[in-house]
């Protein structure tokens, strides 16, 4: 029997899993990047500090897709002034792509944006 994918809002306590997922996805999707470039992305752009800072802002949201206890995807939403929500990051592990997770994330993002009185979702 196939396990069902669940979705939930992520918190600071989830940052280690978020960082691990983003590091894995980045390494799988861009294997030809030099190790120096990968280190720059991991240390400065998709770092644990980045995710902690992102989650510290009340207007931001990170949703996670879980298969059991494994985080398999994230979408980071950044709400800006003027009613605009930006999809900042969308990562899904390679072996879970094509299963509707990205579509579900976008549906949840749209609902969250509308629920918070936004009118525009920027991808």
pLDDT averaged per 10 residues, the chain (length 123): 85 95 84 69 79 94 96 95 92 95 97 92 90
Whole-number pLDDT of residue 26: 81
Per-residue tokens: 82: 């003027």
The pLDDT assigned to 95 comes to 94
What residues contact 95, with CB distance under 8 A and at least 6 apart?
Answer: none
**Can you give the pTM of this predicted structure?**
0.89
State the pLDDT at residue 1. 43
**SS3 of the chain: helix, strand, coil, percent, to 5:** 45, 30, 25
Residues 6+ apart with CB under 8 A from 43: none
Helix (H) or strand (E) holding 70: strand 70-80
């Amino acid at each position: 029997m196939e396990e069902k994918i669940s979705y939930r809002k992520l918190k600071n306590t989830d940052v280690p899993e978020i960082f691990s997922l983003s590091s894995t996805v980045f390494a799988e999707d861009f294997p030809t990047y030099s190790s120096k470039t990968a280190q720059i992305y991991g240390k400065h752009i998709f770092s644990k500090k980045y995710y902690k800072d992102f989650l510290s802002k009340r207007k931001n949201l990170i949703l996670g897709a879980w298969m059991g206890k494994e985080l398999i995807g994230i979408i980071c939403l950044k709400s800006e002034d003027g009613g605009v929500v930006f999809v900042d990051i969308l990562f899904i592990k390679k072996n879970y792509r094509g299963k509707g997770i990205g579509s579900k994330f976008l549906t949840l993002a749209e609902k969250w944006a509308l629920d918070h009185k936004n009118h525009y979702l920027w991808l």
